[in-house]
Structure 1
């Protein structure tokens, strides 16, 4: 039983025989992808306040030190990204700041918001005004919270990480796999194109990895909303005292992801965190979002590669490199809200930029 599944009324089909079959997968069982894709984004860490204290995470700050971007900072950063040719505004923040973060709540109240999710909606509106398509990763969300912002996002996401109960999530405010899966399910119910993924090396075993992939597949088969699954290794930083996954393990779990997931779901490996060149034959077809203007604030020790580096990776693989929007092209007809469709169809510079990426 997946921890938290009962509490959040999550029923996913993870067959024991399917788990065993997936555990037997190796890189020899998959083919290299015919192309690689990436998105050009600007990274906006809306707040570093988080209810969780995961032992591998350098993103969160303790109460009294957490930052909160102002509307003016959001606008300035989005404007900078649009000028650099970006199409995506990647909003991240820690899961619902709890009552310890009084300064964050007080500042939000001064700006007329009763929650960080309400503020996220304003930030997404700013991004659209400045010519970027929002993609928000706000952690666990209730249906009410996701409904509040879904129509101003081209796509959204949350990392499942693992269906296992691991010590790295420990403490009185530990992440619940059941709650993560409930968030992914909510996105499907609301018709939100969604990104999720595995965090490899935080204490899970091979059965856990297989179960996690199969749980994602089951939810996607119900709703058709998962656009990509990230295979991300935990990496050394000032808080993580464990190991980084060995290359052989990363190759194997990447191949498992490709076998487990339907063909239309991309398998992504972040090029600033993983040895992508050594994984090109394991079925990856996406390099994620990279930014020409901002840092990876979740992994600040690991700089984004320049576009020329992505081109070199694709050249080494012998495949074309294609730029994409934060929402994958197959979701454009029939999935997007009027606000996002208006942006795509706009006669302004941003609309032209979006359509150029789409090839229209």
Structure 2
């Protein structure tokens, strides 16, 4: 049982034998991908407040210094992104920021909101109005909090990071693996297409890494809702001087992710943080969200690569590069898919379940009527996959 699992009502367990088997996986045991994909996004840091104080994170500001974007600022960021050809609005903020920051809570109240989640809902609606598909990553969420915003998001996410208790989750309020797993389970119960991942190098050991990947797999097998798993190295910054994992570590853990996860789940590495060129043959098939407009506000010292750099990564691996939407195509209803939909995902997630809400469906259909920017992205990704 993982730490905090019983407290949050999570019934997730992994077999010791499966852990042992996964620990034997090496890069030579997995196949390189047939293609690489990425999403063109804008990064919208709704607030820099967070109730946690993880020692590797530069995103949070101390109480009294944190900021909260106004809806006018959100609209301007989204408008610039749409003008630059982006399709995704990536909303981030720390876990329950209004819980510890009185100024943030007071500002939300002045704007007519009793929580950050009702404000996030309004911000996502602004993104939709500006022609972007929201993908919110608001940290740990109760089922009620997730339900508040799920229908105005094309997909959502939270990094599991690790199922281990680690010293890097320092402070009086620590991240609890059981709570993170509960968030992943909430998303599955609510039919939310979901992104998660592991953070490598924060004090976990190899067994922890294997257990984390297998816990994600178990939840996906239960709900069929995980669209991608990020394998992200911790990086040096003004708050973290504990080093980053070396290339051999990243190659092995990436191969472990590919071996552990079902084929329909993409394995992603962030190209501004990880040596992507050296990891493609370990099973990486996605390079994540990259912005031509905004910084990576979580890792501001590490600049997004330009599109030509992504093309160079793909060329070095000898595979085509295609753009994708923030929600993977297997979650779209049949009438919104491209004709050349990749058969390896065709038996995936739709069935009798509604993964796309009426609001997101309306946005996709309106885009088709206006000339099909989303549709052209779907075709671009499908073309790459068909090579």
Shorter-chain TM-score tier: over 0.9
SS in 2 for 1:105: helix
1:355 aligns to what? 375
Pairing of 1:10-89 with structure 2 (within 5 A):
10-89=10-89
Normalising by the residue count of structure 2, what TM-score does the alignment of the two structures yield?
Answer: 0.92
The Cα RMSD (Å) is 1.1
* Superposition deviation, residue 250 in structure 1: 0.5
The answer to whether 1:252 aligns with 2:252 is yes
Residues 1:350 and 1:198: Cα distance change in structure 2 (over 3 Å): farther
Could you give the per-residue CA deviations for residues 163-212 of structure 1, whole angstroms, max 9, x where no partner exists? 00000002210000000000000000000000000000000000000000
Measure, in 1, the Cα distance between the counterparts of 2:371 and 2:208. Answer: 43
The answer to whether the Cα contact below 8 Å between 2:168 and 2:203 also exists between their aligned partners in 1 is yes
Q: Mark the CA change 1:184 to 1:100 in structure 2 (over 3 Å): closer, same or farther.
A: closer
CA contact (8 A) 1:343 1:351 kept: no
Hey, what's the Cα distance between the residues in 2 that align with 1:160 and 1:100? 22
Indicate yes or no: 2:360 matched with 1:340.
Answer: yes
**Corresponding residue of 1:149:** 149
In 2: Cα distance, 1:114 partner to 1:33 partner: 46
For 1:236-275, list aligned pairs within 5 A.
Answer: 236-275=236-275
Change in Cα spacing, 1:317 to 1:30, as seen in structure 2 (3 Å) is same
Q: Distance in 2 between matches of 1:351 and 1:12?
A: 45
Distance in 1 between residues matched to 2:326 and 2:290, nearest whole Å = 11
Q: CA deviation at 1:355?
A: 1.1
Q: Give 1:342 deviation, angstroms.
A: 0.7
Cα drift, residue 352 of structure 1: 1.5
**8 Å CA contact 2:98, 2:115 repeated in 1:** no
Structure 1 residues 113-262: aligned runs within 5 Å: 113-262=113-262
- Work out whether residues 193 and 225 of structure 1, in 8 Å CA contact, stay in contact via their aligned partners in 2: yes
Contact 1:162–1:177 (Cα < 8 Å) also in 2:
yes
How many positions carry a matched residue from both structures? 360
Is the CA contact (8 Å cut-off) linking 2:41 and 2:87 kept in structure 1? Answer: yes
- For residues 90 and 209 of structure 1, the distance between their equivalents in structure 2, rounded to whole angstroms, comes to 26
Question: Separation in 2 of the partners of 1:100 and 1:227?
Answer: 32
CA distance in structure 2 between the aligned counterparts of 1:158 and 1:66, rounded to whole angstroms: 21
Indicate if the aligned counterparts of 1:82 and 1:132 stay in contact, CA closer than 8 A. yes
Counterparts in 2 of 1:24 and 1:79: CA distance versus 1, 3 Å: same
Match of 2:347 in 1: none
TM-score (norm 1): 0.98
Q: What is the CA-CA distance between 1:15 and the residue it aligns to?
A: 0.3
- Which stretch of the first structure deviates more once superposed, 331-340 or 49-58? 331-340
Alpha-carbon distance in structure 2 between the residues aligned to 1:349 and 1:323: 20
The answer as to whether partners of 2:367 and 2:374 remain within 8 angstroms in 1 is no
Once residues 243 and 256 of structure 1 are traced to their aligned partners in structure 2, the CA distance between those partners, rounded to angstroms, is 22
Paired residues of 2:368 and 2:374 also in contact (CA < 8 A): no
Report the CA distance shift for 1:348/1:106 in structure 2 as closer, same or farther (over 3 A): farther
State how far apart, in whole Å, the 2-side matches of 1:62 and 1:22 are: 40
> Which runs of 4 or more aligned residues in structure 1 lie more than 4 Å from their structure 2 counterparts after TM superposition?
347-351
Q: CA deviation at 1:97?
A: 1.7
For residues 299-349 of structure 1, the C-alpha deviation after alignment (integer angstroms, 9 at most, x for no partner) is: 000000000000111111111101000000000114100100111111578
Shift, 1:98, TM fit: 4.9
Q: Could you tell me how far apart the structure 1 residues matched to 2:189 and 2:273 are?
A: 32
CA pair 131-347 structure 1, distance change in 2 beyond 3 A: closer
In the alignment, structure 2 segments of 5+ residues that lack a partner are: 334-349, 381-387
Secondary structure of residue in 1 paired with 2:21: helix
Cα contact 2:98–2:105 (8 A) shared by 1: no
Answer yes or no: is 1:307 the counterpart of 2:327.
no
Query: What are structure 1's unaligned runs of at least 5 residues?
Result: none
